[in-house]
């Protein structure tokens, strides 16, 4: 039974963390979105400012990466790319 109580605590802690992050994001008005480009399989992370998208990450982050003109199912135009220190690639960005 000790193992199951530890698992239950972990699940409760994960729920608390997710709820905290959701509340923090709602309070700041910043939401991150994800879209997978069907043409090449890259998954793009982005935020929106109105209908303009800022690229904040990409996966996989290997080889030559071509930034799309728009992201999302609603084709939000990409108007900005987060700075090197903010870009979530899992590796150092080389722009």
Q: CA 44, CA 54: separation in Å to the nearest integer?
A: 10
- Does the pLDDT of residue 65 top 90, yes or no? no
Domain segments of the chain: what residues? Answer: 1-28, 31-90
Please answer whether residues 68 and 78 qualify as being in contact, where contact means their C-beta atoms are separated by less than 8 angstroms: yes
Mean pLDDT confidence for 5-16: 75
pLDDT, position 94: 42
Please answer whether residues 68 and 53 qualify as being in contact, where contact means their C-beta atoms are separated by less than 8 angstroms: no
Give 7 or 80, the one with higher predicted confidence. Answer: 80
pLDDT band at residue 89, thresholds of 50, 70 and 90? Answer: very low
Q: CA 73, CA 87: separation in Å to the nearest integer?
A: 22
Percentage, residues of the chain above pLDDT 70: 67
CA dihedral 78, 34, 31, 58 (to 10 degrees): -70
Q: CA 66, CA 89: separation in Å to the nearest integer?
A: 14
Radius of gyration over every alpha carbon of the chain, rounded to an integer in angstroms? 17
- 57: which strand partners? 45, 88
pLDDT, position 93: 41
Give 89 or 52, the one with higher predicted confidence. Answer: 52
Q: What is the pTM of this model?
A: 0.58
Q: CB under 8 Å to 4, separation ≥6 — which residues?
A: none
């Amino acid at each position: 039974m000790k193992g199951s109580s530890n698992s239950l605590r972990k699940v409760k802690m994960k729920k608390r963390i997710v709820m905290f992050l959701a509340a923090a994001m709602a309070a700041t008005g910043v939401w991150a979105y994800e879209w997978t480009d069907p043409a090449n399989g890259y998954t793009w992370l982005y935020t929106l400012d109105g209908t303009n998208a800022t690229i904040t990450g990409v996966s996989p982050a290997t080889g030559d990466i071509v930034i799309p003109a728009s992201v999302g199912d609603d084709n939000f135009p990409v108007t900005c790319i987060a700075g090197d220190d903010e870009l979530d690639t899992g590796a150092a960005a080389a722009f």
